Structures are given as structure tokens and as C-alpha cells.
Amino acid sequence: MSRSARLLVFAVVAIAAAWLVVPRVLAFLAVDSCLDYGGRYDYERRRCDRGAREAPGRDTTRLPERG
């Protein structure tokens, strides 16, 4: 196989791999960034619900009990 034929095969395989991988990586990053900001990701609608966060306040679950 000549060098140009190998280069063509490599280019076709690289483009096909990118075509398959890039959309999945972008979807993962969308979900991950939504969760990082405290939102809830709706997989059915493919949307981030950032209003799903609890109201900001003081975390009292780790405070020692009084008494």
C-alpha cells in the first residue's frame, strides 16, 4: 500500500471516529456542567433544570446537637 493510500485510510478512519465520538463527548459535558452548577438534568427533554436547586441556606446536618 502506498503512502498516500495509507494516509487516506487514516484520514477516513479519524474522521469517522470523530463523527462518532464528538457528539457523545459534548452530551456528557452538557450533563456534567449542569450537575456541576447544582442543577438537575432532564434526560427525556435533554435540558438542564437549574431551578431545581434547593434554597441556599446553612447546612445544619453536621452541627453538633445542643443539650
> Rounded CA gap, 32 and 28, in Å?
6
**E strands of the chain, at which residues?**
40-42, 47-49
pTM above 0.85, yes or no: no
| Position with higher pLDDT, 55 vs 34 | 34
pLDDT given for residue 54 in this prediction = 53
Q: Which amino acid is at 29?
A: L
| pLDDT, tens digit, 9 for 90 and up, residues 2-29 | 999 999 999 999 999 999 999 999 999 9
Q: Say if residue 31 is exposed, middle or buried (CB neighbours under 10 Å; 0-12, 13-18, 19+).
A: middle
pLDDT > 90: what percent of the chain?
A: 64
pLDDT of residue 51: 74
Q: Is 46 left (phi over 0), alpha (psi -120 to 50) or beta?
A: left
